[in-house]
Structure 1
């Protein structure tokens, strides 16, 4: 509508301007022609042609004017009409004219421009829209010709004017239409693009809303929902219609709503943005939903605050996962107990607490006894279930303000808070009672899948802060005490003291020395010859020695227990086995009838890795296996009912000997169930045959039993002639000892053979 008004206004202005141009053109024509007529009149008065006009200058002038009118009218395209009028007694006379025929006389009754004409005779020139008796309209200029009695009339027919007007109007309209059309097309283009853009934004907005669980909300200044998107229904379980008109606080617990209102009030005061505000809503079915809110204030066009708009997001799962991650960071995955990180923090806190309140707290370092056996025999899954049950029992025994933690494997730490006004003796008594309950509970049978297991626990105790003022010292000292408890027979507790630390330091020093011994190849083999009863050499026993650079040659019984304790048994036995094969290759080629006895530690005997090592070595040196006797101690078979390893070794060609026979003090029925090749009477019996009749009788019993079972007997440690004669008479097959030969290196043996 405004555009149409502007167009019509523009057209009206153009028409007015065109009309002014027409009047101006008529006015100019009138002035020019009136001046021409005046000059022509003056000229003719002086120079009229006597013969032609009979010296009538007026006629000459009219003649010239008539010709001029016709010529001008003929050459113009705008169809102007020219009239020269005079006034007589009989009325108005057309003295000259441009039309084809002379117009009729005019009077005041039939001519509507009579008044304008009369005014012109009076000297009042004008331009008027007039009409003739035929109702034809003209734009007419009335001009008094100076110095004459004539009035010049110049007419432009209104229809001719309108043709021009209409032509101009058409052109103007065409131009305006084209401009308007261009404007319309441009505006329509931008409007279309704008609509498309808006539609695209709306579609994108809708798609985003559909593809996300976030929801958009709007509240007024009273925090009442005025808009909320559909996603809220999934999060809270309520229909949109139930939420609109309510406040967010209506969907919270009383305490949560109170907190949220307080926060919202503070935000509203400053018209601040809402940034990552967490609140707990209550779902329609009653469970909690954690919502993260972000929003900003919005205002109307006048700048009046209208409320807030924003986005809510359900972060319940994220918070749950975050808690799970935090739980994993501070708790053991398998048992749910506190982990090493947590117990360290708790001990640090307890150190400060015990100092401030003058109490004696303590930490108990627990290590399950023989847990490895459960893992190896029943599997790690069964072992994990055992750890869970032990953890549950510890949690049940300990007080709420004590902390139970699993720091790895089968190791636990229990932080026990002391009592006020505690003294050392009373605290130790209280710890002993605590420990007794723990040991008793853990010793109870553990039944998993109808399999009953029994387990013990070794405990080391360090008191805060007398046994250390740092976490590392306290844990280390408790570990030291636990280690002592395990070495002292297991399933007991030991309190840390400085003397105990000295023992542990010595053990640690020994361990480091053994590590260096392996690195520097300080272990060597000596071979002790074995003889038949005629004192002929029938074989050797390989004996390990430690050639220490400072302490000299160290016997096997001084370091072998620690080899097993530190887990070096496979490394040592593999070294012995390799070395024996190397020495046999250089020696037995010349003595193919000689045998070789090799001691195997109990740990290696039950270790499949070592057994695979022996099997691979046997494939490399298959001709030697039948000459080798593997010696294992009697206690291995008393504690281990698995005999498959013996059968596997015998299938490879080895002979099996029970070393230190007679020290097991157990039933001997296993001798008939297992295919041993020989027994080796323990050296303690041989040494005692001259001192005790009882020991002599035991030796005789062993000889008789072996003879009955057709098992070869080796008597070791024979150092006197009397001992040799005794074992010879009782039926020993092989004799070994200093009486016949001391242990020698392979170099000494080869040197004697050369000599």
Structure 2
């Protein structure tokens, strides 16, 4: 601890271990007095080793003597309490400066207290809090501690271009800047000598940021090696966070003060009502004009204050109009308390929170006022969700950062649970937002009842909640995972428990994503993103699922994002192509073709549709992709049918396209632009259209059918297969899925299914196309049972559209005979 050998330690004066630039003279006097008087001593004091950083030690001094004789020597026992002292200091700093009473002090006082607090945590250091001025590029001194008059005088004479270099760099880069040698650093060429003369050799500049806005910088100056760099970094980060909060609240107070000043100087009477219509405040002008004081009307409902000449019914109607969601603006005859009437111009304005919920009404009678709020309310607004009272995202991230720092320092594992209510939008849509809000309040209380006092249940907004579980164990292990999963199960049960609102019983369930921490150098935002990714996986697996984050999930999300980005690029830069696969009749002659999309990636080569179509569906790109495919096939249809016999072309259309507003107009526009004959086009849809929302889809199909387009059910037999609904659709054909064709043999289940589909189609007067025909036996089976058309590798693989159209427009006898010979 002392940094010297025993023989060297004996030559060193005892008090010299405690003597340094930051020593407390009173403590040195205590030690000296205890030695002179022979008294024991128990104190915490700064310890200066021969080499290395200054430490805090717990010193216990015991005199060594026999009987009543004066002590001959003293035994000193040292315990290194640097880390514990540092932890306590940080907690005390946060607690003292983030207390609502402390936050209500003037900003200068808050910053000066912060600077002194930093100095107490970092002996032999100095601190300067620099604030960005209103112009956004000049820096001003907000508070200092430990700096000499020489440096402060130099600082006062600085021009904008002479501002401390590291601070400007930290602000421009939005990241801390460390200088290990002030004397040789180009960044300190202007004013570094003032710091060096004070014994400082290193500096750390940490930017102050709030909600993405740069506010200033914390500069800490110290002697290289005298302090642990990790300690300096952590103190700087905490100081920057506290400064950001103080500046944000200062801005809020300034805005409120400005509004308050304007209200009090206005010559109009103002009354503020809560969302239920109770008067909460009036101004002096209101009392002067109406005669009604606060004791008369504050706390009473507006309907009780009939001060008009319109009678009870008229007053009640006006109250309803004033408390409407659109507010009120008009003239009204009111009665003063003394009984006299007067005409007032009344304007009632609705105040809403960030979610659109009405919180207050401001009624102005020739005045404009603001609703004054206490500093405690400002704190509540800044850190808590106004509806549920739970911590909001801002407070959650602050606590999560502290849990991360504590977990890394003390090697303790914590967990983060991201909870999202499944299909909660349906509650709002069916029962209204008031019921939805009430449900969220009930749920908030249930979640809070299941966690420990040190845990945090936060609401991020909407139907998203996060549960932070700090200090679970010493390491990430299966036991920790099981513990967190058990709690997640309890949370899920609490969500699923029915609750009654307005006489109706409601049911909810939630999906959850979980991540454990710390695993590395993740930030609070990183951990939220990990839990969100795990939640996304839960949603994909099914409603009500719980999933732990795994490193591979991030890679999959990144791969999805890369594929989406590349697909958008492909659409814009011609990397997508139309292929055609022929459909043949019973004689083996090509009579139609299906359009298929192929993607030739510049670096990855051909990417199969099974990979990029789901991506397009999920990210919404299927709308743009589907329009491009339809337009390209229309152009092909025009070419082929203008130069030879008619070749019907089939195009796959997704459910998302049918749900797109304006889909029919888009199709009509493309047909007009290309001049394609809709009678030669067949739109293939899946059986998912036969689901619960079939009615809208059938209406769209009917409009498209009136344009002349034909419809086919693709992969028939693999989905709903609701025959009653099938009859309602304007179809011309059914397509048998290849899964039924692959195992066609006499007496097999697939054969029976195929024969049944052929029978259904015949009874409904629909033609049938069999997909996936790959063998002669399959072709013979289908041809013998009257299948209208066949499609598959046995006849032809998908080919570039140009190749197939050339074969169609310039057929060879040999080619035709070859196709026929495969069937006969």
Give the TM-score, by structure 2 length. Answer: 0.49
Change (3 A) 1:331 1:628: farther
Change (3 A) 1:420 1:525: closer
Tell me the CA shift for residue 679 of structure 1. 1.2
Contact 1:657–1:676, Cα closer than 8 Å, also in 2: yes
Contact 1:334–1:384, Cα closer than 8 Å, also in 2: no
Which of 552, 555, 560 is equivalent to 1:499?
Answer: 552
> Match of 1:586?
639
Alignment of 1:427-438 (within 5 A): 427-438=480-491
Change (3 A) 1:210 1:655: closer
Contact 2:637–2:676, Cα closer than 8 Å, also in 1: no
Tell me the CA shift for residue 387 of structure 1. 6.6
> Match of 1:704?
759
Structure 2 spans left out of the alignment, 5+ residues: 1-263, 271-283, 297-367, 812-824
> Match of 1:714?
769
Tell me the CA shift for residue 413 of structure 1. 2.7
Deviates more, 1:349-358 or 1:653-662: 349-358
| Distance in 2, Cα, partners of 1:440 & 1:650 | 49
> Match of 2:783?
728
| Distance in 2, Cα, partners of 1:698 & 1:615 | 37
> Match of 2:532?
479
| Distance in 2, Cα, partners of 1:733 & 1:513 | 40
Alignment of 1:3-42 (within 5 A): none
Alignment of 1:594-605 (within 5 A): 594-605=647-658
> Match of 2:806?
751
| Distance in 2, Cα, partners of 1:445 & 1:606 | 33
**1:389 corresponds to 2:469:** no
Per the alignment, in what secondary structure is the counterpart of residue 777 of structure 2?
helix
Tell me the CA shift for residue 446 of structure 1. 8.2
Contact 1:402–1:417, Cα closer than 8 Å, also in 2: yes
Change (3 A) 1:469 1:577: same
Which of 574, 581, 605 is equivalent to 1:552?
Answer: 605
> Match of 1:740?
795
| Distance in 2, Cα, partners of 1:627 & 1:450 | 57
**1:608 corresponds to 2:658:** no
Deviates more, 1:723-732 or 1:673-682: 673-682
Contact 2:390–2:444, Cα closer than 8 Å, also in 1: no
Which of 573, 585, 592 is equivalent to 1:532?
Answer: 585
Contact 2:637–2:680, Cα closer than 8 Å, also in 1: no
For residues 511-566 of structure 1, the C-alpha deviation after alignment (integer angstroms, 9 at most, x for no partner) is 33323323332111101122222333332211011111233223212321222123
| Distance in 2, Cα, partners of 1:592 & 1:387 | 64
Alignment of 1:148-167 (within 5 A): none
Change (3 A) 1:438 1:629: farther
Change (3 A) 1:621 1:322: farther
Change (3 A) 1:494 1:420: closer
Which of 517, 540, 548 is equivalent to 1:464?
Answer: 517
Tell me the CA shift for residue 596 of structure 1. 1.7
Which of 364, 370, 375 is equivalent to 2:417?
Answer: 364
Contact 1:337–1:391, Cα closer than 8 Å, also in 2: no
Tell me the CA shift for residue 440 of structure 1. 3.5
Alignment of 1:59-74 (within 5 A): none
Per the alignment, in what secondary structure is the counterpart of residue 787 of structure 2?
coil
Tell me the CA shift for residue 329 of structure 1. 4.2
Tell me the CA shift for residue 670 of structure 1. 2.4
| Distance in 2, Cα, partners of 1:668 & 1:743 | 31
Contact 1:467–1:474, Cα closer than 8 Å, also in 2: no
Tell me the CA shift for residue 659 of structure 1. 0.8
Per the alignment, in what secondary structure is the counterpart of residue 429 of structure 1?
helix
Change (3 A) 1:751 1:325: farther
Contact 1:462–1:496, Cα closer than 8 Å, also in 2: yes
Q: Which structure has greater helix proportion?
A: 1
Contact 1:371–1:410, Cα closer than 8 Å, also in 2: yes
Per the alignment, in what secondary structure is the counterpart of residue 529 of structure 1?
strand
Per the alignment, in what secondary structure is the counterpart of residue 727 of structure 2?
helix
| Distance in 2, Cα, partners of 1:508 & 1:579 | 26
> Match of 2:395?
342
Change (3 A) 1:391 1:485: farther
> Match of 1:106?
none
Alignment of 1:191-206 (within 5 A): none
Alignment of 1:448-459 (within 5 A): 456-459=509-512
Alignment of 1:245-256 (within 5 A): none
| Distance in 2, Cα, partners of 1:209 & 1:667 | 72
Contact 2:595–2:651, Cα closer than 8 Å, also in 1: yes
Change (3 A) 1:490 1:448: same
Change (3 A) 1:460 1:598: same
**1:508 corresponds to 2:596:** no
Alignment of 1:642-661 (within 5 A): 642=695, 643-661=698-716
Contact 1:439–1:492, Cα closer than 8 Å, also in 2: no
Q: How many residues align?
A: 456
| Distance in 1, Cα, partners of 2:502 & 2:638 | 53
Tell me the CA shift for residue 719 of structure 1. 1.9
For residues 126-166 of structure 1, the C-alpha deviation after alignment (integer angstroms, 9 at most, x for no partner) is xxxxxxxxxxxxxxxxxxxxxxxxxxxxxxxxxxxxxxxxx
Contact 1:570–1:610, Cα closer than 8 Å, also in 2: no
Contact 1:361–1:416, Cα closer than 8 Å, also in 2: yes
> Match of 2:719?
664
| Distance in 2, Cα, partners of 1:481 & 1:472 | 14
Per the alignment, in what secondary structure is the counterpart of residue 630 of structure 1?
strand
Contact 1:460–1:481, Cα closer than 8 Å, also in 2: yes
Deviates more, 1:681-690 or 1:668-677: 668-677
Contact 1:468–1:474, Cα closer than 8 Å, also in 2: no
Change (3 A) 1:395 1:361: farther
Per the alignment, in what secondary structure is the counterpart of residue 588 of structure 1?
helix
Change (3 A) 1:357 1:316: farther
Contact 1:402–1:416, Cα closer than 8 Å, also in 2: yes
Alignment of 1:109-124 (within 5 A): none
Per the alignment, in what secondary structure is the counterpart of residue 361 of structure 1?
strand
| Distance in 1, Cα, partners of 2:591 & 2:480 | 65
Alignment of 1:185-196 (within 5 A): none
Change (3 A) 1:497 1:669: same
> Match of 2:742?
687
> Match of 1:223?
none
Per the alignment, in what secondary structure is the counterpart of residue 526 of structure 2?
helix
Tell me the CA shift for residue 665 of structure 1. 6.0
What is the CA RMSD across the aligned residues, in angstroms?
4.0
For residues 629-688 of structure 1, the C-alpha deviation after alignment (integer angstroms, 9 at most, x for no partner) is 211111342353433333333233222211111112655432234343221110111111
| Distance in 1, Cα, partners of 2:622 & 2:793 | 27
| Distance in 1, Cα, partners of 2:497 & 2:649 | 47
Change (3 A) 1:634 1:500: same
| Distance in 1, Cα, partners of 2:668 & 2:500 | 38
Tell me the CA shift for residue 619 of structure 1. 4.7
> Match of 2:731?
676
